[in-house]
Structure 1
Amino acid sequence: MKTNKELFLNTIHGLFFGIVLGITLSIISIDIYPEVEKFLNSNWILPALSLVGALIGFIKGYSYKARYLNFLFSTAGTILTPILLSAIMIYFIGIDRFIVLPPIVFKTAIGLQDLDTQIATYIFSIVFTMIFIAAVVSSLTINKRKRWTW
Protein backbone atom coordinates (compact mmCIF):
# COMPACT_ATOMS: atom_id res chain seq x y z
CA MET A 1 0.00 0.00 0.00
CA LYS A 2 1.20 3.48 -0.81
CA THR A 3 0.81 6.65 1.21
CA ASN A 4 -2.42 8.64 1.30
CA LYS A 5 -0.86 11.31 -0.91
CA GLU A 6 0.00 8.81 -3.65
CA LEU A 7 -3.42 7.20 -3.31
CA PHE A 8 -5.08 10.60 -3.79
CA LEU A 9 -2.85 11.47 -6.75
CA ASN A 10 -3.61 8.15 -8.46
CA THR A 11 -7.33 8.73 -7.91
CA ILE A 12 -7.13 12.20 -9.50
CA HIS A 13 -5.14 10.72 -12.36
CA GLY A 14 -7.75 8.01 -12.92
CA LEU A 15 -10.51 10.63 -12.78
CA PHE A 16 -8.78 12.53 -15.58
CA PHE A 17 -8.65 9.44 -17.78
CA GLY A 18 -12.26 8.64 -16.96
CA ILE A 19 -13.34 12.12 -18.04
CA VAL A 20 -11.31 11.94 -21.26
CA LEU A 21 -12.72 8.51 -22.16
CA GLY A 22 -16.22 9.54 -21.06
CA ILE A 23 -16.24 12.62 -23.28
CA THR A 24 -14.93 10.57 -26.21
CA LEU A 25 -17.44 7.74 -25.85
CA SER A 26 -20.33 10.17 -25.24
CA ILE A 27 -19.53 12.03 -28.45
CA ILE A 28 -19.23 8.77 -30.36
CA SER A 29 -22.58 7.56 -29.02
CA ILE A 30 -24.31 10.85 -29.80
CA ASP A 31 -22.85 11.61 -33.20
CA ILE A 32 -21.75 8.38 -34.84
CA TYR A 33 -23.98 5.71 -33.29
CA PRO A 34 -27.25 7.36 -32.21
CA GLU A 35 -28.98 3.96 -31.98
CA VAL A 36 -27.03 3.37 -28.75
CA GLU A 37 -29.46 5.71 -26.99
CA LYS A 38 -32.14 3.00 -27.14
CA PHE A 39 -30.05 0.87 -24.79
CA LEU A 40 -27.95 3.39 -22.86
CA ASN A 41 -28.54 7.05 -22.12
CA SER A 42 -25.50 8.88 -23.49
CA ASN A 43 -25.75 11.48 -20.71
CA TRP A 44 -24.74 8.83 -18.17
CA ILE A 45 -21.57 7.74 -19.99
CA LEU A 46 -19.42 10.66 -18.81
CA PRO A 47 -20.23 10.45 -15.06
CA ALA A 48 -20.07 6.65 -15.09
CA LEU A 49 -16.68 6.50 -16.79
CA SER A 50 -15.35 9.29 -14.58
CA LEU A 51 -16.21 7.24 -11.51
CA VAL A 52 -14.81 4.06 -13.07
CA GLY A 53 -11.58 5.90 -13.92
CA ALA A 54 -11.29 7.25 -10.37
CA LEU A 55 -11.90 3.75 -9.01
CA ILE A 56 -9.20 2.30 -11.28
CA GLY A 57 -6.81 5.04 -10.15
CA PHE A 58 -7.63 4.27 -6.52
CA ILE A 59 -7.01 0.55 -7.07
CA LYS A 60 -3.71 1.31 -8.81
CA GLY A 61 -2.74 3.61 -5.96
CA TYR A 62 -3.67 1.00 -3.38
CA SER A 63 -1.85 -1.93 -4.94
CA TYR A 64 1.42 -2.28 -6.80
CA LYS A 65 0.00 -5.28 -8.67
CA ALA A 66 -1.72 -3.09 -11.27
CA ARG A 67 1.42 -2.75 -13.39
CA TYR A 68 -0.57 -3.14 -16.61
CA LEU A 69 -1.79 0.45 -16.18
CA ASN A 70 1.69 1.97 -16.00
CA PHE A 71 1.58 3.25 -19.59
CA LEU A 72 -1.55 5.29 -18.83
CA PHE A 73 -0.24 6.63 -15.55
CA SER A 74 3.12 7.74 -16.96
CA THR A 75 3.63 11.39 -17.85
CA ALA A 76 3.86 10.51 -21.53
CA GLY A 77 0.55 8.65 -21.30
CA THR A 78 -1.07 11.63 -19.58
CA ILE A 79 -0.04 13.94 -22.39
CA LEU A 80 -0.48 11.57 -25.34
CA THR A 81 -3.85 10.00 -24.46
CA PRO A 82 -5.95 13.19 -24.87
CA ILE A 83 -4.01 14.12 -28.01
CA LEU A 84 -4.60 10.71 -29.60
CA LEU A 85 -8.28 10.63 -28.64
CA SER A 86 -8.72 14.18 -29.97
CA ALA A 87 -7.09 13.19 -33.26
CA ILE A 88 -9.39 10.18 -33.55
CA MET A 89 -12.44 12.33 -32.84
CA ILE A 90 -11.39 14.97 -35.38
CA TYR A 91 -10.92 12.23 -37.96
CA PHE A 92 -14.36 10.72 -37.36
CA ILE A 93 -16.57 13.76 -36.76
CA GLY A 94 -14.62 16.75 -38.08
CA ILE A 95 -13.15 19.79 -36.38
CA ASP A 96 -16.39 21.79 -36.25
CA ARG A 97 -18.33 19.08 -34.40
CA PHE A 98 -15.30 18.36 -32.20
CA ILE A 99 -15.27 21.95 -30.98
CA VAL A 100 -19.03 22.18 -30.43
CA LEU A 101 -19.93 18.83 -28.83
CA PRO A 102 -17.77 18.54 -25.65
CA PRO A 103 -19.41 21.48 -23.80
CA ILE A 104 -22.86 20.18 -24.76
CA VAL A 105 -21.98 16.68 -23.53
CA PHE A 106 -20.53 18.19 -20.35
CA LYS A 107 -23.57 20.29 -19.49
CA THR A 108 -26.00 17.43 -20.09
CA ALA A 109 -23.79 15.02 -18.13
CA ILE A 110 -23.79 17.24 -15.05
CA GLY A 111 -27.56 17.69 -15.34
CA LEU A 112 -27.76 21.32 -16.48
CA GLN A 113 -29.40 21.08 -19.89
CA ASP A 114 -30.83 24.61 -19.63
CA LEU A 115 -27.41 26.17 -19.06
CA ASP A 116 -26.21 28.50 -21.80
CA THR A 117 -23.70 26.80 -24.10
CA GLN A 118 -21.20 29.66 -23.78
CA ILE A 119 -21.17 29.37 -19.98
CA ALA A 120 -20.94 25.57 -20.28
CA THR A 121 -17.92 26.05 -22.55
CA TYR A 122 -16.20 28.22 -19.95
CA ILE A 123 -16.99 25.81 -17.11
CA PHE A 124 -15.88 22.81 -19.16
CA SER A 125 -12.62 24.54 -20.14
CA ILE A 126 -11.84 25.48 -16.54
CA VAL A 127 -12.68 22.03 -15.15
CA PHE A 128 -10.82 20.14 -17.88
CA THR A 129 -7.74 22.38 -17.56
CA MET A 130 -7.64 22.00 -13.78
CA ILE A 131 -7.98 18.22 -13.97
CA PHE A 132 -5.33 18.02 -16.72
CA ILE A 133 -2.88 20.07 -14.65
CA ALA A 134 -3.63 17.92 -11.60
CA ALA A 135 -3.06 14.75 -13.65
CA VAL A 136 0.28 16.02 -14.99
CA VAL A 137 1.40 17.05 -11.50
CA SER A 138 0.30 13.70 -10.08
CA SER A 139 2.12 11.78 -12.81
CA LEU A 140 5.28 13.80 -12.18
CA THR A 141 4.95 13.11 -8.45
CA ILE A 142 4.10 9.41 -8.75
CA ASN A 143 6.62 8.47 -11.44
CA LYS A 144 9.98 9.65 -10.22
CA ARG A 145 12.05 7.05 -12.08
CA LYS A 146 10.03 6.10 -15.14
CA ARG A 147 8.46 9.41 -15.94
CA TRP A 148 8.34 9.23 -19.73
CA THR A 149 8.33 5.48 -20.20
CA TRP A 150 6.62 2.50 -18.66
Structure 2
Amino acid sequence: MPFIKTETGAYFEYRFTTSFEETNLVGNIYFANYALWQGKCREMFIKEYCSDVVKEINDGLKLITVDLGLQFVSQLFALQDVVIRMSLEAQSEFRMMMNFEYYRSENEALHLVCKGHQSTTSMKLVDDVLTLVPFPKSMIDAVEQYKLIQQTI
Protein backbone atom coordinates (compact mmCIF):
# COMPACT_ATOMS: atom_id res chain seq x y z
CA MET A 1 0.00 0.00 0.00
CA PRO A 2 2.08 2.82 -1.28
CA PHE A 3 2.30 6.51 -0.84
CA ILE A 4 1.70 8.22 -4.14
CA LYS A 5 2.91 11.72 -4.93
CA THR A 6 1.16 13.96 -7.44
CA GLU A 7 1.34 17.62 -8.44
CA THR A 8 -1.43 18.42 -5.96
CA GLY A 9 -0.06 16.50 -2.99
CA ALA A 10 0.51 13.00 -1.73
CA TYR A 11 -1.72 10.26 -0.41
CA PHE A 12 -1.68 6.78 1.09
CA GLU A 13 -3.57 4.25 -0.99
CA TYR A 14 -5.47 1.25 0.40
CA ARG A 15 -7.06 -1.28 -2.00
CA PHE A 16 -9.54 -4.09 -1.33
CA THR A 17 -12.62 -5.87 -2.70
CA THR A 18 -16.04 -5.47 -1.09
CA SER A 19 -17.97 -8.52 0.13
CA PHE A 20 -21.58 -9.60 0.47
CA GLU A 21 -21.15 -9.26 4.23
CA GLU A 22 -20.89 -5.48 3.76
CA THR A 23 -24.18 -5.09 1.87
CA ASN A 24 -27.62 -4.17 3.18
CA LEU A 25 -31.05 -5.53 2.22
CA VAL A 26 -31.15 -3.30 -0.87
CA GLY A 27 -27.91 -4.88 -2.11
CA ASN A 28 -25.57 -1.90 -1.94
CA ILE A 29 -22.76 -1.41 0.56
CA TYR A 30 -24.12 -0.33 3.95
CA PHE A 31 -23.07 3.28 4.69
CA ALA A 32 -21.42 2.51 8.04
CA ASN A 33 -18.76 0.44 6.26
CA TYR A 34 -17.29 3.62 4.75
CA ALA A 35 -16.54 4.86 8.28
CA LEU A 36 -15.03 1.48 9.20
CA TRP A 37 -12.85 1.63 6.09
CA GLN A 38 -11.45 5.01 7.17
CA GLY A 39 -10.21 3.36 10.37
CA LYS A 40 -8.84 0.39 8.47
CA CYS A 41 -6.97 2.67 6.05
CA ARG A 42 -5.48 4.63 8.97
CA GLU A 43 -4.46 1.36 10.66
CA MET A 44 -2.77 0.05 7.50
CA PHE A 45 -0.82 3.32 7.32
CA ILE A 46 0.32 2.81 10.93
CA LYS A 47 1.24 -0.83 10.23
CA GLU A 48 3.28 0.05 7.18
CA TYR A 49 4.95 3.34 8.13
CA CYS A 50 5.07 3.59 11.93
CA SER A 51 4.42 0.11 13.32
CA ASP A 52 6.00 0.95 16.69
CA VAL A 53 2.81 2.93 17.44
CA VAL A 54 1.01 -0.40 17.97
CA LYS A 55 3.16 -1.00 21.08
CA GLU A 56 2.31 2.52 22.30
CA ILE A 57 -1.39 1.75 21.79
CA ASN A 58 -0.95 -1.44 23.80
CA ASP A 59 0.73 0.69 26.49
CA GLY A 60 -2.23 3.07 26.72
CA LEU A 61 -2.03 5.51 23.82
CA LYS A 62 -5.46 6.25 22.38
CA LEU A 63 -5.93 7.54 18.83
CA ILE A 64 -9.45 8.88 19.15
CA THR A 65 -11.64 9.90 16.22
CA VAL A 66 -13.33 13.15 17.27
CA ASP A 67 -15.00 14.03 13.96
CA LEU A 68 -15.93 12.04 10.88
CA GLY A 69 -17.95 12.86 7.80
CA LEU A 70 -18.99 11.22 4.54
CA GLN A 71 -20.36 12.64 1.31
CA PHE A 72 -21.71 10.00 -1.07
CA VAL A 73 -21.46 10.45 -4.83
CA SER A 74 -22.57 7.00 -6.03
CA GLN A 75 -22.98 3.47 -4.68
CA LEU A 76 -20.80 0.41 -4.25
CA PHE A 77 -21.96 -3.21 -4.43
CA ALA A 78 -20.51 -6.57 -3.40
CA LEU A 79 -17.37 -7.84 -5.11
CA GLN A 80 -16.31 -4.47 -6.48
CA ASP A 81 -12.71 -3.32 -6.23
CA VAL A 82 -12.22 -0.22 -4.09
CA VAL A 83 -9.35 2.24 -3.78
CA ILE A 84 -9.25 4.59 -0.79
CA ARG A 85 -6.85 7.52 -0.88
CA MET A 86 -6.03 9.09 2.47
CA SER A 87 -4.27 12.44 2.68
CA LEU A 88 -3.45 14.69 5.58
CA GLU A 89 -5.21 18.04 5.41
CA ALA A 90 -3.70 19.56 8.55
CA GLN A 91 -1.83 18.61 11.70
CA SER A 92 -0.96 19.97 15.11
CA GLU A 93 0.84 18.41 18.03
CA PHE A 94 -2.41 16.82 19.26
CA ARG A 95 -4.67 16.53 16.21
CA MET A 96 -4.61 15.26 12.63
CA MET A 97 -7.24 16.08 10.01
CA MET A 98 -7.36 13.56 7.18
CA ASN A 99 -9.28 13.45 3.92
CA PHE A 100 -10.48 10.26 2.24
CA GLU A 101 -11.53 9.66 -1.34
CA TYR A 102 -13.22 6.36 -2.19
CA TYR A 103 -13.07 5.07 -5.76
CA ARG A 104 -14.57 2.07 -7.54
CA SER A 105 -11.83 0.56 -9.68
CA GLU A 106 -12.93 -0.90 -13.03
CA ASN A 107 -10.54 -1.86 -15.81
CA GLU A 108 -7.86 0.40 -14.33
CA ALA A 109 -10.23 3.41 -14.33
CA LEU A 110 -11.21 5.04 -11.05
CA HIS A 111 -14.76 6.30 -10.40
CA LEU A 112 -15.32 8.51 -7.35
CA VAL A 113 -18.03 7.10 -5.06
CA CYS A 114 -17.50 8.97 -1.78
CA LYS A 115 -15.49 11.70 -0.07
CA GLY A 116 -14.84 11.73 3.64
CA HIS A 117 -12.89 13.36 6.41
CA GLN A 118 -11.73 12.43 9.89
CA SER A 119 -10.13 14.29 12.78
CA THR A 120 -8.10 12.22 15.20
CA THR A 121 -6.51 13.20 18.48
CA SER A 122 -3.84 11.53 20.58
CA MET A 123 -4.64 10.90 24.26
CA LYS A 124 -3.66 8.85 27.32
CA LEU A 125 -5.24 8.20 30.68
CA VAL A 126 -3.41 10.30 33.28
CA ASP A 127 -4.76 9.92 36.83
CA ASP A 128 -7.95 8.41 35.33
CA VAL A 129 -8.49 11.45 33.09
CA LEU A 130 -8.12 11.34 29.30
CA THR A 131 -5.39 13.85 28.54
CA LEU A 132 -4.05 15.16 25.24
CA VAL A 133 -0.56 13.92 24.44
CA PRO A 134 1.60 14.56 21.38
CA PHE A 135 1.38 12.07 18.54
CA PRO A 136 4.23 9.55 18.58
CA LYS A 137 7.37 10.82 16.89
CA SER A 138 7.33 7.98 14.36
CA MET A 139 3.86 9.06 13.16
CA ILE A 140 5.01 12.66 12.78
CA ASP A 141 8.15 11.48 10.97
CA ALA A 142 6.09 9.29 8.60
CA VAL A 143 3.84 12.21 7.73
CA GLU A 144 6.75 14.62 7.29
CA GLN A 145 8.78 12.09 5.28
CA TYR A 146 6.05 12.00 2.68
CA LYS A 147 5.32 15.74 2.84
CA LEU A 148 1.63 15.32 3.49
CA ILE A 149 1.40 18.40 5.68
CA GLN A 150 -0.37 21.19 3.79
CA GLN A 151 -1.14 23.50 6.71
CA THR A 152 -0.90 23.68 10.49
CA ILE A 153 -3.96 23.83 12.74
Q: TM-score range by the shorter chain?
A: under 0.3
TM-score normalized by the length of structure 2: 0.24
TM-score normalized by the length of structure 1: 0.25
Q: Which has the higher strand share?
A: 2
Query: Higher relative CO (CA 8 A, sep ≥ 6), structure 1 or 2?
Result: 1
Q: Which has the higher helix share?
A: 1
